[in-house]
Amino acid sequence: MRSTALISLMSFAVWLPAQGQVASSYSSTGAQLNSLPQSNSIAKIIPRGDTIWVGSGTGLSYTTDAGRSWKLFTMAETFDGKSVSAVAIRGNTIWVASEYSTQSDNQSVPTGGGLHYSTDRGSTWTFLPQPVDTGKVDTIIYGRNKIPALASTVLQQNVTWDIALTQNAIWTASWAGMLRKSTNQGRAWQRIVLPPDNLNRISPTDSLHFSMSGVEKYFKDDTLYNKDTLHASLNYAVFSICATDDSTLYVGTANGINKSTDGGVSWRKFNHQNQLRPISGNFVVGITEQRWKSKQVIWAATSNAVDPDEKRGVSFSTDGGETWGTGLLGEFAHNIAVRDSIVYVAADGGLYRSADYGQSWTRSGSVIDHANLQRFASSRTTATAANGDTVWVGGDDGLAYTIDSPAQQFGSTWEVFRTYVPVQATSKTYSFPLPFSPASEVVRIHYSTSGKTMPVTIRIFDFAMAPVKTLLRGATRTGSVEHDEIWDGRDDLGRRVSNGVYFYRVELEDTDPQWGKIFVLQ
């Protein structure tokens, strides 16, 4: 990154101390060493040298040996039991945001779980509570203007989804918490003024008349809902941020992409409605910079917000946002990674690759580890990262990598990492999830051959013990790993089974059959 002095925002915004718990520090030198990753639900993948950092559904972990062993931050303060929603690394400094769910009106609501930071590559950590504000309405001084702002007084919906680190500041993108900045390691935060929905640019020298308020709801069943709270603007619902240098920021919201070239003071907004060659959609869930030789490309995962004309896809600009190209239209992209001239996109339809700056795309195909017989049951991927020729990808079904090199075709071979509870004996087996819904997931039957290579047969029966499905018949399984076999909830004729209790039988050579239960609920 280019080192450029940040312009002070002290005269343009109000400083707000984090409320609730005080900051706490702790050592993680005893982080748990494990042969398996932390979770099968992957949110973030960040490579630094030979270290791959992974934010997952149950915390933070890293590997330094391409996945053969993992350090898990499971019992360190509030990492335990909370999902990682954002990770940012600059030098030896690491910032991590977490989130969890609470119940409100019989609905599960995303809730901010706070921030962790380390300045020594993860040896020791400091925890900060999720930034919230006091009172109901604050006044933010922005140049000659006094901007009324609705205070984010609760943790619900106030999840930090992205973090950027510049030389002198930490920037957080939070849905109900808006865009915030700290220059003192999170002891105090200031909310940054972005253009409201009806303005395309702002500067502190302008005469402005608007109020700042985010939205309380977000995407549900492919529809964006928001509750009008003090004239809520979708542009204050912040989801992504990218700092291309210490003064230039790109911020993605539910109303487009905001760009600042003066350290977050003045802003210009690009969205689907205000340009002749616009982004595909205003809901911007990820932004990445690509630099290769003399070329700079800004990539964004852009989805439809509220305008019927908006589309899902990726958007890219080679002129700093003045014009945009689009690709993968119709595909919901979650995350973008770059390597030299190549870009990778993690999307609902799989992992995509472009070597010509978005003019054409190839898809990796199914993620299958033929050596260990592990595979992703779903095509959906949510995170990707490139580390040399190694391309990592994660989703709801685990973590994997493939090699992309002249000697090995992208996506031709995979190594899949899935965590599980070991049974360590042929006398034990279990199925998960329990219950499972064939409409949206698969069930996995877990067992071990206790270090031996042998034929395996697995049959599934209904509650009356009538045969339903022969999952395996004499299939050879090695003893080097424990195994998961996948059932999609269909019988031998391809019909989806009804709700109820089902039994499965694992038959291993020279051992007594082992039985287990499967609960189908849809």
- Residues 189, 301 within the same domain: yes
Q: 454: domain CATH number?
A: 2.60.40.4070
- Residues 228, 316 within the same domain: yes
Instruction: Judge whether residue 338 has pLDDT over 50.
Output: yes
Q: Provide the residue type at 19 as one letter.
A: Q
pLDDT at residue 509, rounded to an integer: 85
pLDDT at residue 373, rounded to an integer: 85
pLDDT at residue 231, rounded to an integer: 46
- Residues 186, 240 within the same domain: yes
pLDDT at residue 283, rounded to an integer: 97
Point out the domain boundary residue: 311, 330, 349.
330
pLDDT at residue 20, rounded to an integer: 40
pLDDT at residue 504, rounded to an integer: 97
Point out the domain boundary residue: 309, 330, 351.
330
pLDDT tens, position by position, 274-298: 999 999 999 999 999 999 999 999 9
Contact predicate 52/45, CB 8 Å: yes
- Residues 339, 449 within the same domain: no
- Residues 444, 509 within the same domain: yes
Query: Taking the model in full, what pTM does it have?
Result: 0.88
Q: Among residues 470, 516, 521, 471, which one has the least CA distance to residue 498? A: 521
Q: Give a yes or no: residue 12 inside a domain.
A: no
| Segment 220-243 mean pLDDT | 68
pLDDT at residue 1, rounded to an integer: 34
Q: Measure the CA–CA gap between 496 and 503, rounded to whole angstroms.
A: 16
pLDDT at residue 26, rounded to an integer: 56
Q: Give a yes or no: residue 6 inside a domain.
A: no
Q: What is the domain count for the chain?
A: 4
Q: Give a yes or no: residue 267 inside a domain.
A: yes
Query: What is the span of the domain harbouring residue 198?
Result: 131-330
Point out the domain boundary residue: 73, 96, 128.
128
Instruction: Judge whether residue 22 has pLDDT over 80.
Output: no
- Give the residue with greater pLDDT, 341 vs 12: 341
For residue 11, how far is the Cα from the chain centroid?
A: 34
| Segment 96-117 mean pLDDT | 90
3-state secondary structure 420-456: CCCCCCCCCEEEECCCECCCCCCEEEEECCCCCCEEE
Contact predicate 15/183, CB 8 Å: no
* CA torsion, ordered 190, 196, 197, 203, to nearest 10 deg: -110
Among the listed ranges 62-76, 119-133, 446-460, which one has the minimum average pLDDT value? Answer: 62-76
- Give the residue with greater pLDDT, 35 vs 395: 395
Q: Measure the CA–CA gap between 98 and 181, rounded to whole angstroms.
A: 17
- Residues 116, 82 within the same domain: yes
Instruction: Judge whether residue 411 has pLDDT over 50.
Output: yes
Q: What is the mean pLDDT of the chain?
A: 88
pLDDT tens, position by position, 159-200: 999 999 999 999 999 988 999 999 999 999 999 999 999 999
pLDDT at residue 511, rounded to an integer: 85
